[in-house]
Structure 1
Amino acid sequence: MTTLVVDAVSVAYGKDEPVLRDVSIQVEPGRILAVTGPSGAGKTTLLSAMAGLLRPRAGSVTVDGVALRDRDHAVAQRVVLVPQDNGLAAILTAAENVQVALIAQGAGPAEARRRMVEAMDRLGLAAQSDQLVEELSGGQQQRTAIARGLALAGAVLLADEVTSELDATNRQKVLDVLRDEAARGAAVVFATHDPEAAAACDAELHLVDGRAELIRGYSDLPVPA
């Protein structure tokens, strides 16, 4: 099982002042960590650093003790990111978006189709598989992006505001799916502004102006205020 550690990380864009300052947390397999905070607090920046998209100005992000160099290295370490903007190709169908990601990861066509069907079923999207992404509602696109992340079966699953456009029923479905991913041994990080969704997670890291405050869970881990 895989553990992701954020150790005293500060992140800045260019020469600007850091938007994350001295953040530390350990993301443990089998548990879901909620990252909360107001808009602009640094939630997406933290997940981007965890995914290898942003290089810390200070500190490190490691997977099982290996420091992430970039996004390709993170992918090789089986770190999967479901971005807030879903990252889907509008000219492909929902199914094709999932299958293309799997084939790029090395799955054969038959295996990619099997895993796509399973993931789409879990998100209640079987009927939308053959629709173009641009024909889907915002909530359906969001769930398709989650299905793609599930199909990739990451050891670390990072989900950025993935319930923001969902109704109560589908929000609960997504939370149940994230819980299932943790149960299979994944380390799950869920950035959200929804206090009810955060309460369903095992632990909560609250960000304010780029600084971290541990709200609950992981009480044995020191996190700077």
Structure 2
Amino acid sequence: MSSSLVVDRVTVEYTAGAPVLRDVSVTAQAGRMLAVTGPSGAGKTTLLRAMAGVLRPVSGAVAVDGLALRDRDDAVSRRVVLIPQDNGLATILTAGENVQVVLVANGFSPEDARRATAESLEHVGLSAQAGQLVEELSGGQQQRTAIARGLALSGAILLADEVTSELDAANRARVLDLLRAEADRGACVVLATHDLEAAAACDAELHLLDGAAELVRA
């Protein structure tokens, strides 16, 4: 299931003539964790969204195993999982339902989805909160629910956007260990983060500044 993700001279714009990313290139490898760092507004979220097929570059390409991504549906079919910074949870559903619904939508049987949901919530320390509505959870608990959902999908490529920003030290360490375990099973893990300690836990680091990229650790 090992996959690699290649960003080749990608430029992304929200407004014509005003690139957010300019000519960015990087390779994220299976079995390794790549940190994407930089100040707010540097383009970290934009890069992950391009990697996930959510944003189409105005030039350059994002490819998985040598084949360019067409769009988000194509990326999903190729098991590219995105854990977004805003968590993307449905507040009217419970923590468990938020995970389970996505698993069923991705082809899990109801029984397998229930089992995977329970396991993933246990991994992030939320077994006791499985039946709580998301709106009743703290910010950190919501973030861990989103992480559990992403991990349960067992993607070949896992893109995690600022997933430790709301967490205390113990839960940050727990999540970084889980991301490392994903890499150890052969996944390609990309972590966008402001957290220097989280970045240091990764194998390589791409630093963004004003839309330009520099690989500071390979």
Do they superpose with TM above 0.5? yes
Aligned length: 217
Counting aligned pairs with the same residue, the percent is: 71
For residues 125 and 62 of structure 2, the distance between their equivalents in structure 1, rounded to whole angstroms, comes to 34
Q: How does 1:140-159 map to 2 (within 5 A)?
A: 140-159=141-160
Please state whether the residue corresponding to 1:13 is helix, strand or coil: strand
Structure 1 regions of 5+ residues with no counterpart?
218-225
| CA–CA separation in structure 2 for the residues paired with 1:196 and 1:150 | 21
* Counterpart residue number, 1:37: 38
Structure 1 CA distance, aligned partners of 2:199 and 2:51? 19
SS in 1 for 2:101: helix
C-alpha distance in 1 between matches for 2:16 and 2:110 = 45
CA distance in 2, matches of 1:174, 1:16: 38
- CA–CA distance in 1 between the matches of 2:14 and 2:122? 39
CA RMSD in angstroms, aligned pairs only: 0.6
Q: What's the counterpart of residue 101 of structure 1? A: 102
Deviation sequence 1:95-150 (CA, Å, 0-9, x none): 00000000000111000001111111110110000000000000000000000000
Residue 14 of structure 2: SS of its match in structure 1? coil
Q: Distance in 2 between matches of 1:129 and 1:164?
A: 22
Amino acid at match of 1:204: E
1:16 shift after superposition: 4.0
Q: d(CA) in 1 for partners of 2:57 and 2:91? A: 32
What residue is the counterpart of 1:223 in the other structure?
Answer: none
**1:32-76, CA deviations, whole angstroms, 9 ceiling, x for partnerless residues?**
000000000000000000000000011000011111111111000
Quickly say closer, same or farther: Cα 1:9–1:169, change in 2 above 3 A. same
What is the correspondence of 1:20-35 to structure 2 with a 5 Å cutoff?
Answer: 20-35=21-36
SS in structure 1 of the partner of residue 15 of structure 2: coil
How does the TM-score come out when normalised to structure 1? 0.96
Offset at 1:14?
Answer: 3.5
1:131 paired residue number: 132
Q: Distance in 2 between matches of 1:87 and 1:200?
A: 26
Distance (whole Å) between structure 2 residues aligned to residue 116 and residue 10 of structure 1: 37
Looking at structure 2, the residues matched to 119 and 146 of structure 1 have their Cα atoms a distance apart, in angstroms, of 9
Q: Distance in 1 between matches of 2:201 and 2:5?
A: 21
Q: Aligned runs of 1:1-225 on 2, under 5 Å?
A: 1-217=2-218
Secondary structure at the residue paired with 1:12?
strand
